[in-house]
A and B are shown apart, each in its own frame.
Chain A
Amino acid sequence: MKYRAFAASLLTLILLTGCGDPAQEADSAPASADLFAMDTYMNLKAYGKDASAAVKEAEERIRTLEQTLSVTDSQSDLYAINHADGAAVRVSADTAAILETAERIGQNTNGALCISLYPVLRTWGFTTGEYRVPDASEIENLLQFCDDRLISHEGDSVTIPKETELDLGAVAKGYTGDAVTEIFKQHGITSAIINLGGNVQALGKKPDGSTWTVGVTDPFSPDQLLGTLPADNQAVITSGNYERYFTDDGGNRYWHILDPETGAPADNGLAAVTVIGECGVECDALSTALFVMGTDAAADYWRQNGGFEMLLVTTDGEVCLTEGLEQKFQPKRELQSRVIRHDETN
């Protein structure tokens, strides 16, 4: 009988002390950082033994990329290209890689992604915050030199005409997310979430084994979520007309995603585009290009090229999602939705 009492006491002891394995807890302790860079708020969170070093290195990498890719910093690659008066400029491997992706997606989307619209963005005031509605002739004049085909890019050498100016705002954050993911992988991190101003990249799964969840902002009420999407080693990147805009005296809204054909805010029936895929810089570039293209052209592009999933929100409030997301998107409110399938036409 004494044995039974002893066993019961032992069990109690086990129960009282058996709260988690300390080694595992140390392994899953997060390292995180909040940064303000590239005109946005960024939050990095990584789990694992080497997480602190990984996050520190990632922060340094973000600061370096910010400096390299800035349009206004006089030490940046972009500044050098834009102020070379038509001469060739040597750029870093990062700048060369981003330009290569932007040029490729620009070509594939028939110019819907255009990184040479900076003079037009400036005249609208999107670069300074001093907003105005320019007249048509002024835009037409500036558009002559806003054409990515004018960029001559060979290895690390870049040349643009004197009047042309580049801006990598449509792709820089996606590239940065990829760079941070790469650093985390080098440090052996298998669980991390990288949020660069609403552009999210997930590495692996959460420490508890569940899939990371990413919120999709409601473009009609940006303080609320439209729904959530799971992300498993994926980037979830959104371009929307709610991100940066101004309203004129007549109540018309003008947003920062410009249509390269008109030089005016892209108005092809979409309020927001979310692209989900493995490569951040491609998702970033596509979210802008597909926003410019509109629903039907975006659906055609997806059918022809694939390699990503997308969620489109039309200006009428309809949600169109590609079939890979049909079972994954969790709406937060009642939505009118439609599935874009491979085996159908618009």
Chain B
Amino acid sequence: MTKQTKIIAAAAAAVFLIAAALSVYMLRKAPANRIEIVQDGKLLYTFDLNSADNQTIRIPAADGGYNNVVIEDGTVRVDTADCPDQTCVRMGTLKSEHLPLVCLPHKLIVRFAEDGAA
């Protein structure tokens, strides 16, 4: 094996290893904490709970009402709302892909995105 072919082989091996590492990194499952806030079928917001800042989002409803969605320390909940049943508030923090936070009167849903199920 000449010196030149050795260099080519080493370079190819290096590229191969870098590509392999990169492929594994890219194909790795996305962190499981992406949420969606949907109102009447329209996607209003998406957040990654792992990186989202603590914040309160006031979401106005078609009937003039509102829901205050709070993102805090990697969790999300409907903190306050002026809907009559308060089911969305009572649900507490979002815990599972199977149990989205739903406000029927305001047609609001807070849920894990498909690749972000708990």
Q: Which residues of A contact B (CB under 8 A)?
A: 1-2, 4-5, 8-9, 11-12, 15-16, 19, 30, 33-36, 39-41, 129, 213-215, 217, 222-225, 228
Bitwise interface map of B from 83 to 113 toward A, beta carbon under 8 Å scored 1, else 0: 0100000111001111110101001010000
A223–B92 CB distance below 8 A: yes
A8 to B15, CA, bound (A): 9
Closest A residue to B114 by beta carbon equals: A30
A-B contact pairs, 23 of them (CB 8 A): A1-B2, A1-B9, A4-B5, A5-B8, A8-B15, A9-B15, A11-B16, A15-B16, A15-B19, A16-B23, A30-B114, A36-B104, A41-B100, A41-B104, A129-B84, A213-B98, A222-B91, A223-B92, A223-B95, A223-B99, A224-B96, A225-B96, A225-B99
Q: Which of A16, A41, A217 contacts B109 (CB 8 A)?
A: A41
Give min CB distance, B34 to chain A, whole Å.
Answer: 15
> B12 within 8 Å of A by Cβ?
yes
Q: Which of B16, B41, B91, B96 contacts A35 (CB 8 A)?
A: B41
Bitwise interface map of B from 27 to 43 toward A, beta carbon under 8 Å scored 1, else 0: 10000000000101100
Residues of chain B within 8 A (CB-CB) of A5 are 5, 8-9, 12
Q: Which of B15, B91, B104 contacts A223 (CB 8 A)?
A: B91
A39–B16 CB distance below 8 A: no
B9–A4 CB distance below 8 A: yes
Give min CB distance, B39 to chain A, whole Å.
Answer: 9
- The DSSP consensus for interface residues of chain B is mixed
Query: In which size bucket is the chain B interface?
Result: 20 to 34
Residues of chain B within 8 A (CB-CB) of A215 are 96-99
Give min CB distance, B50 to chain A, whole Å.
Answer: 22
Residues of chain A within 8 A (CB-CB) of B100 are 41
Give min CB distance, A125 to chain B, whole Å.
Answer: 13
- The DSSP consensus for interface residues of chain A is strand
A34 in contact with B38 given A19-B27, A41-B109 (CB within 8 Å): yes
Q: Which of A9, A15, A213, A217 contacts B99 (CB 8 A)?
A: A217
B9–A39 CB distance below 8 A: no
Give min CB distance, A191 to chain B, whole Å.
Answer: 13
> B57 within 8 Å of A by Cβ?
no
For chain B residues 1-27, which have a beta carbon within 8 Å of chain A? 1-2, 5, 8-9, 12-13, 15-16, 19-20, 22-23, 26-27
Give min CB distance, B74 to chain A, whole Å.
Answer: 17
A227 to B118, CA, bound (A): 13
B19–A16 CB distance below 8 A: yes
B16–A36 CB distance below 8 A: no
Give min CB distance, B88 to chain A, whole Å.
Answer: 10
Bitwise interface map of B from 55 to 92 toward A, beta carbon under 8 Å scored 1, else 0: 00000000000000000000000000000100000111
**9 smallest beta-carbon distances between A and B, as pairs:** A215-B98, A8-B12, A1-B5, A5-B8, A223-B91, A41-B102, A12-B16, A34-B41, A223-B92
Give min CB distance, A278 to chain B, whole Å.
Answer: 21
Give min CB distance, A2 to chain B, whole Å.
Answer: 7
B98–A15 CB distance below 8 A: no
* Apart from A1-B8, A34-B40, 9 more pairs, CB < 8 Å: A5-B5, A12-B15, A15-B16, A34-B38, A41-B102, A129-B84, A214-B98, A217-B99, A223-B92
A12–B12 CB distance below 8 A: yes
Residues of chain A within 8 A (CB-CB) of B40 are 34, 36
Which of B12, B84, B95, B97: most chain A Cβ within 10 A? B12
Give min CB distance, B22 to chain A, whole Å.
Answer: 8
Give min CB distance, B40 to chain A, whole Å.
Answer: 7
Residues of chain A within 8 A (CB-CB) of B38 are 34
A213 to B20, CA, bound (A): 33
Residues of chain B within 8 A (CB-CB) of A224 are 95-96, 99
Residues of chain A within 8 A (CB-CB) of B41 are 33-35
A12 to B20, CA, bound (A): 8
A124 to B20, CA, bound (A): 66
Closest A residue to B105 by beta carbon equals: A36
